[in-house]
Structure 1
C-alpha cells in the first residue's frame, strides 16, 4: 500500500469514527462515503432533472419578496410598473439567488456530502465542472435582465455575485464563521434586494425610511440564517464550519436567533410609529406577538423544531416586512 492510499484509508476511518460518534447510522454512513467519492470525481456529468434541485427554488422567495417590498415602499403605482416588478422578481429569485445556491453547492460539496448526500453534486447527478457552467449561465442571464431594468441594477447584480463568492468561496469564505456569513446573506437576500426594488421603480435614491428598513430586516435575517444552519450541525462540526449552532450550542443559538428577529421587528415598528402609521404598526405588533409562543416552542426543542419554525415562524417575519413597506409609503 502506497502512502497516498494509506492516507486516504486513515481519513475514511477518522470520518467513520466521527460520524458514528455523532449518531449517524451505518446505512447513512455508507451513503456519505459514496457521496464524498462523487463530489470530486473527474469528468463531466449533467442530468437535466437535477438542475432545478441544484438551484434550490425554496430559497428564492426571500429575495423576491424583499424586492417586492422595496417596490411597494416607494408608493408608486405598481400596475404601471408591472414589467419592472416582474423582471426584478425574476432577477432576485430564479437568477441571482439560484446563482448563489449553485455556487454555494460547488464550494460546499464536501460538507453537503455529509449533511445532504442526496444533493445533486454529492449524489453524482451533476459534476462539479457542470455546476460551474450552470452558475456562469445564471450570472450572464442575470446581468442581461438587470441591464434591461437599468445599468445601475446590473452594477448591483455584479456586487451580488461578489457577495455570493465572498460567502461561499476562497479566500474569504465568510460562511466559515456564522457571525459574518449570516450577515452577508441577510444583506444580500433582504437589504440589497429591497433597495434594488426601490431604485428600479424610482431610479433615484430610496427614502431614508426605506433604507433603514432594508438594513433592519437584513440584520434580523441573521436569525433566519442561524435557524437554517441547524440542519447542518453534524457536517459543520466535522468540517470545522463555525456556524452559530456549532459555536453556541443549539439552545443558545435558538435564543439568539429569536432575539435578533424580535429586535429587528421592534425597531421597524418604531419607524412606523414615527411615521404615524398606526394601523400598520398594530398589524406588525400582532405579527410579532404571534411569533413569541412559537419561539418558546423552538427554544424548548431547537433540534426538532428549527425546520418547523423556519417554515411557519419566519413567514410571520416576512409578512411584517411587507406591512412595514406599506406603512412607510409616501
Structure 2
C-alpha cells in the first residue's frame, strides 16, 4: 500500500498530508518548506492527495476490525420477526420476555406439533371430539413450546462460545440475558413439559406412564446432545440422527401412545424416517462451520467439506423417503406409496434450485419451500399405517 502511494504522490506532498492527519503523525524534521504551504497550487494538490491518503489508511485491516462492533448489524438492521422466531438476522431486544421466546426458537416447534398429528392419525383412534382435540393440543404444548423450548435453550447455553463466533448478537453471548435467568428458564420448561406428560398419561388412562417416559427420555437425549462430556453434536452422524429422532420419532410416538398403542413396526418405521431428519439437521450446520471448526465440533460440513456434505444431506432425505415408499408398496398400499413419491418430486426440484447451489445463502428459502412436502409425506405415511386404512 505504501509503495502504491509513493508511485502516485510526490514525496513532498505526501509528507505535507501526513502532518495534517491526526492518524499518522510524522516527526518535524520531515516538514515541507514554508513556501510550499503558502502556494495556492500546493493547497489544491494537498486537498486532492489528502483524500487518497485517508482512503488508503482506512483500509488497514486491523483498524477496521477494531472499529466494527459485533452487535451492530443485528441491532441496526435485524428483523423483529426473526427475533421472535429465534432465527438468524434477529433484531436485538431488551424486553426479557421477547428474549426468552427467542431462546425457545418457535420456528423449530412446527415439526414437533406435526409429529403429534401424525401419531394421532397413525393410531386410528383419533376422533374430532372436544376431548380428543384438547388432548392433542396439550400434547402439542408439551412437545413444542415446553420440551423443544427446553432443548433449544439448553443448546444455546452450551453453544454460547460457538455462537460468540457465528452469531455474537444472540441473547446469551451478547449478555442480553443472565446465566441465572437462562437456568431458571431451562428448569421451568423441563418441569412444565414433564408435568404435562404425566397429566396426559392420567387423561389417557395409562397403567404405565408411557408418555411421561417418552418425555423424560427425550429430555435426557436433548441434554446429552448439547452438554459435555457426551455432547453428541460433536459427532455429525450421531448428533444429527439423535436430532432427527427427536423431531420425528418422539412426537409421533407420543401422539400415537396418547390415542392408541405403539407397535414395533411403527417404532422401526419412524426411526427409519429419522434418517431424513438427520438430513434436515445437516442443513443448519452449514452456517456454523467457522464456529464448529474453531471449537473442534465434527459436524458433517466440517468433516467432509461443504460440497460433499450438501449431497449427504439431500441424499439422506430422498433415499429415506423412497425407502418408505417402497415399504408402503410392499405392504399392499400402492396409492399411499405413489402419493409419497409424488411429494418427493418438488423436494428434489427445490434442492437443485436452492440448496445445492448455495446451502448457506439459500438455507431459509430451501427449508420454507421443500419442508412442507416432507411433512405432508409424514402424514401420508401415518395415514397409511393407521389401523383404519
Tell whether the structures are fold-level matches, with TM greater than 0.5.
Answer: yes
- TM-score, with length taken from structure 2: 0.71
RMSD: 2.1
Equivalent pair of 1:84/1:201 in contact (CA under 8 Å)? no
Structure ID, larger Rg: 2
Could you say which residue in structure 2 is the equivalent of 1:105?
Answer: 156
Matched ranges for 1:226-237 at <5 A: 226-237=282-293
Are the aligned partners of 2:116 and 2:252 in contact in 1 as well (CA < 8 Å)? yes
- Per the TM alignment, residue 28 of structure 1 is displaced from its structure 2 partner at its CA by 9.6
Confirm whether residue 58 of structure 1 aligns to residue 114 of structure 2.
Answer: no
Task: Quote how far apart the aligned CAs of 1:138 are.
Answer: 0.5
Which stretch shows the higher mean deviation, 103-112 or 80-89? 80-89
Q: By how many angstroms is 1:29 displaced?
A: 6.3
Provide structure 2 residue ranges, at least 5 long, that are not aligned to the other structure: 1-63, 75-93, 202-208
**Alignment counterpart, residue 153 of structure 1, candidates 211, 219, 225:** 211
1:187 to 225, 245, 249: 245
**2:339 equivalent among 271, 279, 283:** 283
User: Quick one: distance in 2 between partners of 1:218 and 1:268?
Assistant: 11
* Aligned residue in 2 for 1:120: 171
Q: Would the aligned equivalents of 1:32 and 1:114 in 2 still touch at CA under 8 Å?
A: no
Paired position in structure 1 for 2:24: none
TM (norm. structure 1) is 0.84
In structure 1, list runs of 5 or more residues that go unmatched. 1-24, 36-44
In the TM superposition, what whole-angstrom CA distance separates every residue of 1:57-87 from its partner, at most 9, and x where no partner exists? 0011111111211111111133242222111
**Separation in structure 2 between the aligned mates of residue 67 and residue 248 of structure 1, nearest angstrom:** 34
Measured in 1, the distance between the counterparts of 2:157 and 2:67 equals 22
Q: Map of 1:137-286 to 2, 5 A cutoff?
A: 137-150=188-201, 151-202=209-260, 204=261, 206-286=262-342
Q: 2:363 aligns with which of 295, 306, 328?
A: 306
The aligned counterpart of 2:65 is 26
Quote the residue 1:13 is aligned against: none
CA drift of 1:46 comes to: 8.4
Over 3 Å counting, the alpha-carbon distance change for 1:144 and 1:32 in structure 2 is: same
Of structures 1 and 2, the one scoring higher in RCO (CA 8 A, sep 6+) is: 1
Which of 70, 75, 78 is 2:119 aligned to?
70
Task: Determine the C-alpha separation between the residues in 2 that align with 1:183 and 1:124.
Answer: 31
Which piece of structure 1 moves more, 234-243 or 130-139?
A: 234-243
Distance in 2 (CA, whole Å) between partners of 1:188 and 1:313 is 20
CA drift of 1:170 comes to 1.1
Q: Which one has a larger percent helix, Structure 1 or Structure 2?
A: 1
- Comparing 293-302 with 93-102, which one deviates more in the overlay? 293-302
Deviations, residues 32-58 of structure 1 (Å, cap 9, x unaligned): 79x9xxxxxxxxx98222110011000
Q: Distance in 1 between matches of 2:338 and 2:196?
A: 38
2:363 and 2:258 map into 1 onto residues whose CA distance is: 35
